[in-house]
Amino acid sequence: MAEARGELDLRRELEALHAASFGWALACAARERDEAADVLQEVYWKVLSGRARYGGRSSFKTWLFGVIRLTAIEQRRFRFARRREIPTADTTDVADVPAPSGPLVDRRTAEAISRALGALSEKQREVLHLVFYEGLSIAEASEVMGVSLGTARLHYERGKAHMLAILTKEGVTL
């Protein structure tokens, strides 16, 4: 009975984090919705089958985002290996990144932010997404990314500076 209760609690936590998890999976899957859905399905299977186990060393959300990131990397490597075996045209636009929206952000600003994010390195994009879109601290983002806190801070600061330079050049003020 305790095992069934534990799985029920686990399912509830996964459900509560589903929207944020899908947003992070989208970021890890270069904004490809089908790929993100596949990643998340694989993650849920890993978690519910016990292949990925939460050890309690970080928050559940931080741990889950780490599993999502690693699963996306695994799937990307698998697809790359398959593409090498079976040549196909690749039409994925990896620079397609999320742009903020809402009453305070006009369309021009949102498009400029999206372009600026697309110009960042992968690690800079990851840490900024985790901090600004997912509300994680830089320390939590470093855990998700599997890098040291100092490395995450470096990517965070460089990413912000690079974005500011791009936005300033485009005449966008925040």
Per-residue tokens: 164: 């500011």
The residue among 5 and 22 whose pLDDT is bigger is 22
Report how far residue 107's alpha carbon sits from residue 144's, in angstroms, rounded to the nearest whole number: 31
Put simply, whether the predicted model's pTM sits higher than 0.85 gets the answer no
Fold category of 95-174 in CATH:
Arc Repressor Mutant, subunit A (1.10.10)
Pick the CATH number of 1-94 from 1.10.1740, 1.10.287, 3.30.420, 2.40.50: 1.10.1740
Point out the least confidently predicted range of 22-36, 110-124, 130-144. Answer: 110-124
pLDDT for 84: 56
Contact in structure between 161 and 129 (CB atoms under 8 Å): no
